[in-house]
Amino acid sequence: MRGKSKWIIESIESLLKLDDFPTLVEIAEDMDQLSDMVSIRLPESLMMRIEKAIIQIRKQYPTIEGVKSNLIRASIIQRLLREATSVTEV
C-alpha cells in the first residue's frame, strides 16, 4: 500500500473513533474549496465502516451532499490539525 493511501486510511479510522465525527463531517461540507482529486485504495472492511458511518451522518444531517467525500476531507483535516497540535505541545 502506498504511503498516501495508508496515511488517509489511518486518518479515516481515527475520525470514525471520535464520538462527534458526524459533526466534523458536516463542518467539512463548508470547505468546498478543498476539492483536489486524489486516488486511493480502501480496504473492504473500511469501506463497510464508511457506509455505516454515512447512514449515521445522514440520520443527523439529512441535507448533506457528498457525504463520503466530506468524511474523507474531514478525516484529513482532523489528522492535520491533531498532528499540528501534538507537535506544538511537545
Tell me if 9 sits within 8 A of 42, measured CB to CB: yes
Mean pLDDT of 40-46: 93
* Per-residue confidence (pLDDT) for residue 2, from 0 to 100: 77
* Per-residue confidence (pLDDT) for residue 46, from 0 to 100: 97
| Residue 34 in this model has a pLDDT that exceeds 80 | no
Q: How confident is the model at residue 87 (pLDDT cuts 50, 70, 90)?
A: low
Please report, for residues 24, 33, 34, 39, 48, the alpha-carbon distance to residue 18 in angstroms, rounded to integers and kept in the order given: 9, 24, 22, 25, 17
pTM of the complete model beyond 0.95: no
* Per-residue confidence (pLDDT) for residue 86, from 0 to 100: 61
* Type of residue at 11: S
Tell me if 78 sits within 8 A of 11, measured CB to CB: yes
